[in-house]
Amino acid sequence: MAAPVNIAAIDAGSNAIRLLIARATSPDRYEILDSERASVRLGHNAFTRHAVSNDTIAKAARAFRHFRRMMDRHHVAMYRAVATSAAREARNRHILIERVRRKSGIEIEVISGEEEARLTCAGVLRLLPSHVTPRVIFDLGGGSLEINFLEGGAVTRRVALPLGTVRLMETYKIEGVITEDRATRIRDHVLILLRSALPTPPSLAGGVAAASGCGDCPQ
């Protein structure tokens, strides 16, 4: 049996940045050692002004510096740090990436919407019981909605849409209670994008759907 190795995963999402540290004894066996969530909303201004503010970049750098200390304390041997929708759309993402690298030594990888959907799908399938085979997996984040369609456990199609919670709140300037008129406008907006991406949606009657990401929605 191979010696255990401590690994870490960092998700720099549009509404929060999360760290997970685990001890892996094989590709399929691991034990969670520690986790942390930093309330840094990278998506603020990223979807309306296409830039991350200096204040937000500073908060992100502090969060990553804290994550580095946690990783060092657990003797993490390898990690992967990814940034998603907000970083993809921010024109000044290179400043964010360089500041984090300089302050913490952590290298951030800005991944595509398709890679984000793939990782989500792999994580959900890993957690579901073996007898459960979903036909569709949704992942709602702060900046995007990823949809995986499956047949017999294999992905047949992936769709990434700009329908995240932070994006919609800032686009429609939502604060407090959502009025019925604004809710109708948001529903129409969502339907237009869904119909554009899926003009002939697959039949999912009787199938199982799995959803993730709701815990990252802003309060």
Coil vs helix vs strand at 3: coil
Q: What is the pTM of this model?
A: 0.88
Give kind and range of the element (H or E) at residue 103: helix 93-104
Distance CA 120, CA 24 (A): 20
Tally of CA atoms within 13 A in the half-sphere of 58 that contains its CB: 3
122-179 pLDDT, tens digit per residue, is 989 988 988 899 999 999 999 999 999 999 889 999 999 999 999 999 999 888 889 9
20-77 pLDDT, tens digit per residue, is 999 999 888 899 999 999 999 999 999 999 999 999 999 999 999 999 999 999 999 9
Going by the DSSP 8-state scheme, the letter that residue 150 receives in this structure is E
Distance CA 130, CA 124 (A): 11
- Cβ atoms of 89 and 47 closer than 8 Å: yes
| All structural domains of the chain | 5-110 (3.30.420.40), 113-216 (3.30.420.150)
